[in-house]
Copies of this chain bind each other. A is one copy, B any other.
Amino acid sequence: MLYNQKNSNFAIMNNMPSSSFHEIVMIGAGNLATHLSWAFTCAGHSIKGVYSRSLQSAEMLAKRNGRGCVATNKLQEILQADIYVIAVTDTALSQIISSWPEHCKGGVVLHTSGSVPMSLLKEVGGDYGVLYPLQTFSKQRKISFSDIPCFVEGNSPQTTDIIVNLANTISQTVHFLDSHRRKRLHLAAVFACNFVNHLYDLASELLKDENLDPQWLQPLIRETADKINSLSPRQAQTGPALRADKKIMTQHLGQLDEFPELQSIYKSLSNSIYNTFHGSYDKL
């Protein structure tokens, strides 16, 4: 066994025998379900069915998964499979678990959420676990799963084995991670991805408002992301708050007088940078 449940920082190597292809039913037809379906299909698994609250969405994804994949919007009508992958919002997840169909209790039920503890799945009555891929997904954008770190957990060593092997067929980086630490990872991802992307949006809006081209930011955005491959973010930091340039910071806040929300974001992030490098001071 190449992984160690007790040492979650231990990478798990790909050691799946080639015969371990599974019959899978996808619960959900959104961004993540779509990307996972592509990845599973490419890896040789068979997606037998797709469930979604919207029949149209289920049919669209089932069609993409190829012949023989059955679409339904009735949970009680999903086909029996080895593995059920629930890739829906956290709110929808609870509803699905509470009405989990009796005839599906023989398979392994997985959820894909960063923030929901594995124990929530206890209710499904059979084996269960988690496969959390750390990435941001948009339907319009194809992604190679092999570089995406996947974090897994199972209700027993045997179930964990099954999930590890499944994850290894789609990703080169698979780690065991318990629910508590997965929650922390998910929170960090919100900072590093959702908030970062929103800052791109705010910067673009600031430019458009003056008829300037948001595309001009691209090389800067790329270098900011690339830089931390060779420097830590702490070493890579630049800008007025790092330099403790209060004159520029005050000028920036003045420029944001028309945009109180941006002003408040500017304050909280600049204060935090300042505190990181210079210790506490009178807030902006």
Whether A141 is near chain B, meaning CB under 8 Å from some CB there, is yes
- B149–A216 touching, CB < 8 Å: yes
Whether A121 is near chain B, meaning CB under 8 Å from some CB there, is no
- B193–A239 touching, CB < 8 Å: yes
- A219–B181 touching, CB < 8 Å: no
- B197–A236 touching, CB < 8 Å: yes
- B233–A198 touching, CB < 8 Å: yes
- A90–B138 touching, CB < 8 Å: no
- A148–B219 touching, CB < 8 Å: yes
Binary contact track A260-274/B, C-beta < 8 Å → 1, others 0: 011011101101110
- Roughly how many angstroms separate A202 CA and B203 CA in the complex, as a whole number? 20
Residues of B within 8 A of A222 (CB): 225
The listed residue (B201, B210, B227) touching A141 by CB distance below 8 A is B227
Residues of B within 8 A of A147 (CB): 219
- Roughly how many angstroms separate A90 CA and B243 CA in the complex, as a whole number? 10
The listed residue (B149, B218, B233, B240) touching A229 by CB distance below 8 A is B218
Which of chain B's residues has its CB closest to A271's CB?
B261
Q: A119 → chain B, closest Cβ, in Å? A: 15
Q: List 14 A-B contacts (CB under 8 A).
A: A115-B248, A147-B219, A187-B206, A187-B252, A189-B217, A190-B239, A196-B224, A197-B236, A198-B233, A198-B273, A199-B199, A204-B233, A261-B275, A264-B268
Task: Please give the residue numbers on chain A whose beta carbons come within 8 Å of chain B beta carbons, in ascending order.
Answer: 8-9, 31, 89-91, 115, 134-138, 140-141, 143, 147-149, 173, 175, 177, 181, 183-185, 187-204, 206-207, 209-213, 216-225, 227-243, 245, 247-248, 251-252, 255-256, 261-262, 264-266, 268-269, 271-273, 275-276
